[in-house]
Amino acid sequence: MKAIRQAKIKEIIEHEVIETQEDLAAALCRHHIEVTQATVSRDIKELMLIKVPTGDGHSRYAPPAGKNVAFSRARMARLFQDSVTGLDFSENIIVVKTLPGTANAVASVLDYAKWPEVIGTVAGDDNIIVVVKPKDAVESVMKKMEALTF
């Protein structure tokens, strides 16, 4: 079912302007595929979909431009500079503040960067929780993120 759903997502974003996860869930529903927001979010991350400007002040989901686009340090830096508005931490948790609608893309590049100190991310609309292990690695991860952001 997952492979069928993800193939349908690729087809939908190729033929329709899909601006939000809710739009994508509704489009899938029109194709008789019922999904939760969490499933749509995971699919977007797994498919490495990105948001691209449509030219009218809006954006839409699109496939990545190239095979290793998520792994490029230059792309990470561009995405961080364009999207990240703040960084803070407590214990082994880093909170990344982003512009609305960009947290998923930033979390995705963090996941695909495979930094050994980062054991996972959770993205909302404009915030990301980054779990770091061990706790004393938080400072080095913050420095990596700051270097990308500022």
Q: What is the pLDDT at residue 129?
A: 98
Question: Do both 138 and 74 map to the same domain?
Answer: yes
Q: What is the pLDDT at residue 70?
A: 47
Q: What is the pLDDT at residue 88?
A: 97
Q: Structural domain of residue 16, as residue ranges?
A: 2-62
Q: Who contacts 88 (Cβ-Cβ below 8 Å, separation ≥6)?
A: 94, 95, 97
Q: What is the pLDDT at residue 71?
A: 58
CATH of the domain at 110: 3.30.1360.40
- pLDDT of the chain, 150 residues: tens digit per residue: 888 999 999 999 989 999 999 999 999 999 999 999 899 998 998 888 888 888 788 889 988 765 444 457 787 888 899 899 999 999 999 999 999 888 988 998 898 888 999 999 999 989 999 999 999 999 999 999 999 987
Question: Do both 82 and 39 map to the same domain?
Answer: no
Residue 120: closest CA among 131, 109, 106, 108: 131
Question: Do both 79 and 130 map to the same domain?
Answer: yes
Question: Do both 44 and 9 map to the same domain?
Answer: yes
